[in-house]
Amino acid sequence: MFKDFTETAPPSPAPPAGAAADWTVPQHWDRFTAGDHATWDILFARQQEMLHGRAVRAFEEGLDVLHLSRPGIPEFGELSDRLRARTGWTVVSVPGLVPDDIFFEHLANRRFPAGNFIRSRAQLDYLEEPDVFHDVFGHVPLLALPAVADFMQALGSKGLEAIAKGALHRLARLYWYTVEFGLAREDGALRIFGAGILSSFGESRFSLDSAEPKRRPFVLPEVLRTTYRSDSFQTGYFVVDSFEALLDAVLRADLGSLYREAESLPDLDPARP
């Protein structure tokens, strides 16, 4: 019936050679080639144009206050100085995907792990592992906003708790449908705030304009029961009314009870009517 909530997660793998115990590595910004910086510039220009009027307003403000519009891949030390001054967050460099407990431990301490590599020209539209464009362009601008900064930190600590409770798959759905693929209503219009959409040329149009996907109001217990796929555009999105309301819903919830309740109910299809 229920999953055994006392079950412990397997130990995470050791960091690769050259990485610290928390999987961070030097960014080695000086090792990016002119071609790497040009790849960033191509992606940046294309997304900035596409997202104008589509992203939540705070996204463009974040690009601005963090000076992300300057050409080239950002240097994380300088970016962190600007971000720290706003919300106390920093950006740390990692070689790619890191184990869940390591990832959430960083978030719980207001550190955002960002890839130290950029995709190749053949992968402008799709890649498997999050690179510096997804991580920095997609995630970092909104971390300049206090409500999002607090929400991400909360997800970090709730993530660590979820691992301990054997409920990581539930918390991962909350992360997916907000931080990665969230939509928001702003002045009555639908806007994008999820980094997976913000960093995707195709999905930034599809998520708002297509008649195919379902768009439903954010309801925490429903989100925890809704499956997702990572190999195609989403078939359903959740829409928040504000970041403050989202933060409040997650901070006030008794997630342990919601996880247990969800285990006794069937999963939900994001494309359900």
| Binding-site entries | 134, 139, 180
**Which amino acid would we find at residue 107?**
L
User: Does position 195 bind Fe ion by CB under 5 A?
Assistant: yes
Question: Which single residue brings its beta carbon nearest to ligand HBI?
Answer: 103
User: Does position 19 bind ligand HBI by CB under 6 A?
Assistant: no
Report the C-alpha gap between 129 and 198 in whole angstroms. 16
Interface of this chain with Fe ion, residues 27 to 46, rule: CB under 5 A: none
The two tokens of residue 267 are 């999963």
Closest to Fe ion by CB, 194 vs 270, is: 194
User: Do 12 and 163 touch, CB atoms closer than 8 A?
Assistant: no
Closest to ligand HBI by CB, 50 vs 172, is: 172
User: In which residue are the tokens 């008794």 written?
Assistant: 254
CB 175, min distance to Fe ion, A: 9
Instruction: Give 155-158 contacts, CB < 8 A, sequence gap 24+.
Output: 155/104, 155/107, 155/179, 155/250, 156/104, 156/105, 156/106, 156/107, 156/108, 156/109, 157/104, 157/108, 158/250, 158/255
CB 64, min distance to ligand HBI, A: 24
Closest to Fe ion by CB, 195 vs 250, is: 195
Can you name the residues that pair with 239 across neighbouring β-strands? 183, 217
User: Does position 94 bind ligand HBI by CB under 6 A?
Assistant: yes
- For ligand HBI, which residue of 65, 124, 154, 172 counts as binding (CB under 6 A)? 172
Residue 43 interacts with which of ligand HBI, Fe ion, none, CB < 5 to 8 Å by class: none
Rounded to 10 degrees, the C-alpha dihedral 106/110/115/118 comes to 170
| Contact region with ligand HBI (CB under 6 A), list: 57-65, 72-80, 95-103, 246-254 | 95-103
Q: How many CA atoms lie within 13 A of 191 on its CB side?
A: 21
Closest to ligand HBI by CB, 87 vs 116, is: 116
Residue 208 interacts with which of Fe ion, ligand HBI, none, CB < 5 to 8 Å by class: none
Closest to ligand HBI by CB, 106 vs 191, is: 106
User: Do 241 and 185 touch, CB atoms closer than 8 A?
Assistant: yes
Contact footprint for ligand HBI (CB under 6 A): 94, 97-98, 100, 103, 113, 130, 172, 175
